[in-house]
Amino acid sequence: MKAYFRMLGTAAGLLVAFTVVLGLLYPAAVFGVGRLMPHHQADGQPIVDARGVVRGSALIAQPVTEPGFFFPRPSAAGEHGYDPMSSSASHRSTAGKDYQAEFAARRAEIAQREQVPAAAVPVDAVTASGSGLDPHISVAYAQIQKARVARERGMSEEEVQRLIDENMSTSFTGAQQSKVVNVVTLNAALAGS
């Protein structure tokens, strides 16, 4: 009986210790470190319009429904896509006939919309990212959309290219040849122009 109460006391002590360390101290430390970072990084990189209203995050892709904007990658997150509460990939086999048909249909639709040959449509334009929320597109996908965006917005292609360049960065690998364009910040810049 004495051993039982000793084990019970040890278990209760560990429960209290782990609750304090992992439930209070660790979250407070992570929050404190986050406050040391620049505001836009610690708070999810919000995109704020000219009136000061938060319109989204530079870290989460959004669907495009109006002309004159760059399209993001497709999304399998949620029933209609781009749902942060349902972030996931489709988990469908790329060898499946239905996936191949959908892939070909997306490629044909993008080729028609951007007035380019289907072979010029990059793979990221027709495939969703692992999370379904990736805000980045390849430079190749941005380039095939440039003429359409310039035409729809009444801008020169040089002006649109400048905005593409301003929203371009290297991917997480840091390799110069793997540059990506943040389509969310690019569209925000277009909305402000």
Rg (CA), the chain: 23
Q: Report how far Cα 148 is from the mean position of its chain's Cα atoms.
A: 22
Q: What is the pLDDT along the chain (193 residues), one digit of tens a residue?
A: 888 889 988 999 999 999 999 999 999 998 888 778 776 666 667 777 777 777 777 788 888 888 999 999 988 777 777 777 777 666 677 777 887 888 899 999 999 999 999 999 999 888 877 777 888 999 999 999 999 999 999 999 999 999 999 999 876 665 556 789 999 999 988 987 5
- Tokens representing 97 are 């006939």
> For position 41, what pLDDT does the model report?
64
Give the torsion through C-alpha atoms of 102, 108, 109, 111, to 10 deg: 140
Task: Please list the helix, strand and coil fractions of the chain in percent, rounded to the nearest 5, in that order.
Answer: 55, 10, 35
> For position 54, what pLDDT does the model report?
72
- Give the model confidence (pLDDT) of 72-94 as tens digits: 998 877 777 777 777 766 667 77
> For position 25, what pLDDT does the model report?
93
What are the DSSP calls for 38-98, one per residue? -HHHHTT-EEE-TTS-EEEETTS-----STTS-------SSSSS--GGG-------TTSHH
Helix (H, G, I), strand (E, B) or coil at 181: strand
> For position 79, what pLDDT does the model report?
78
> For position 122, what pLDDT does the model report?
93
- Give the model confidence (pLDDT) of 114-130 as tens digits: 999 999 999 988 887 77
Contact 116, 125 (CB under 8 A): no
> For position 177, what pLDDT does the model report?
62
Paired with 137 in beta bridges are: 181
- Tokens representing 132 are 């379904």
